[in-house]
A and B are shown apart, each in its own frame.
Chain A
Amino acid sequence: MEGAASYQRFPKVKIRELKDDYAKFELRETDASVANALRRVMIAEVPTIAIDLVEIEVNSSVLNDEFIAHRLGLIPLTSERAMSMRFSRDCDACDGDGQCEFCSVEFHLRAKCINDQTLDVTSKDLYSSDHTVVPVDFSDSGSGFENNEDQRGITIVKLRKGQELRLRAIARKGIGKDHAKWSPAATVTFMYEPEIHINEEMMETLSLEEKTSVVDSSPTKVFGINPHTQQVG
């Protein structure tokens, strides 16, 4: 069957920027279908961990149970463990009800407001059964987030005097295709980048004034003019 010519390609990758929560790279010697598949996979098929099952013991807050369960689901959790975890639907150790260590992580939350000041219940109040799976702490990532002292975690609900929230939550592995809460990416985009070649011979025939007008024709200042050689580049 083999022996026919291979149509395999060897894509080239060059990283332009790499931060904790941001990456930008060049992809060469392949086509848009591969770049788009990569984009789609990053958004919808990379597994992460998110709260999926919530058992509420006491809720006397102003938000209803479902609302709080939904908010808990949207809290980002550190998901390095996701790859070694099982999907609860494929788990043999339990019936997929999220009771075993191979497919679930348990969280507990207990909060009661006892004084006149409003109590903010945040992601910091969630206690995890697994120290590797915890709510993501944005305070040290530095970029974009205001790092005030009162900014602690992600607000789940606010409690007035006498109100109480007590619950047990189970986080599971999932993918963005099932629910966007499992999507690891905020945005993923790709675009073609133009490659500009200047016809040097023709450029030499232009006067300085004409060269300046070529440089100024670009609204984003793509070209520049060398003050010594008067070459456009």
Chain B
Amino acid sequence: MKDHLALCFLHFANSVSLKNNNSRVSYERDTKIINAASFTIEREDHTIGNIVRMQLHRDGNVLFAGYKLPHPLQYKIIVRVHTTSQSSPMQAYNQAINDLDKELDHLKAAFEAEVARVSGEY
């Protein structure tokens, strides 16, 4: 009698693996307003949503930028962008992402240099 054998699964894999779904960002143009679009980003939340929104606000051609988490159980965000006719939502979005990417690369390098400096002092 295998009386004391128990398997305990602590981890419930509720994070459904979307491994085969290759694209994480989808783009949908607004049908009524020109230069307006929504980007749906899968498997992201406020962490990314808020920095993308704030970066879009820095762009003078962006008339509106906002994000929402449609439902707390749905692991995705929707970023909505309106721009002037000088730009386009896709251009503004790409620029925001590129600038953030470079900013964070810089931040990483700056932090590592600072850690090296501080730990060298001791």
Interface residues of A (CB under 8 A from B): 1-2, 4-15, 18, 25, 30-31, 33-34, 36-37, 40-41, 44-45, 51-60, 65-66, 69-70, 73, 89-90, 172, 174, 177-179
Interchain CB contact under 8 A, A1 and B91: yes
B-side interface mostly: helix
Q: Is B94 an interface residue (CB 8 A)?
A: yes
Q: Note all chain A residues with C-beta closer than 8 A to B107.
A: 11, 13, 30, 34
Interchain CB contact under 8 A, A10 and B8: no
Most chain B CB within 10 A, of A7, A44, A65, is at A7
**In-complex Cβ contact of B94 among A1, A56, A70 (8 A):** A1
- The CA-CA distance from A45 to B45 in the complex, in Å, is 11
Interchain CB contact under 8 A, B47 and A12: no
**In-complex Cβ contact of B50 among A15, A33, A45 (8 A):** A33
Number of B interface residues, CB 8 Å? 42
Q: Tell whether A13 pairs with B114 under 8 Å between CB atoms, given A37-B48, A56-B5.
A: yes
Q: Tell whether A4 pairs with B13 under 8 Å between CB atoms, given A13-B114, A59-B4.
A: no
Q: Is B74 an interface residue (CB 8 A)?
A: no
Interchain CB contact under 8 A, A4 and B95: yes
Q: Note all chain B residues with C-beta closer than 8 A to A56.
A: 4-6, 8
Residue of B nearest to A72 (CB): B10
Residue of A nearest to B7 (CB): A55
- The CA-CA distance from A178 to B15 in the complex, in Å, is 8
**In-complex Cβ contact of B11 among A12, A14, A172 (8 A):** A172
Q: Which 9 A-B pairs have the closest CB atoms?
A: A69-B8, A33-B54, A8-B99, A7-B58, A40-B47, A65-B6, A13-B110, A15-B118, A54-B8
B121 CB to nearest chain A CB (Å): 9
B11 CB to nearest chain A CB (Å): 5
Interchain CB contact under 8 A, B59 and A66: no
Q: Note all chain B residues with C-beta closer than 8 A to A36.
A: 47, 50
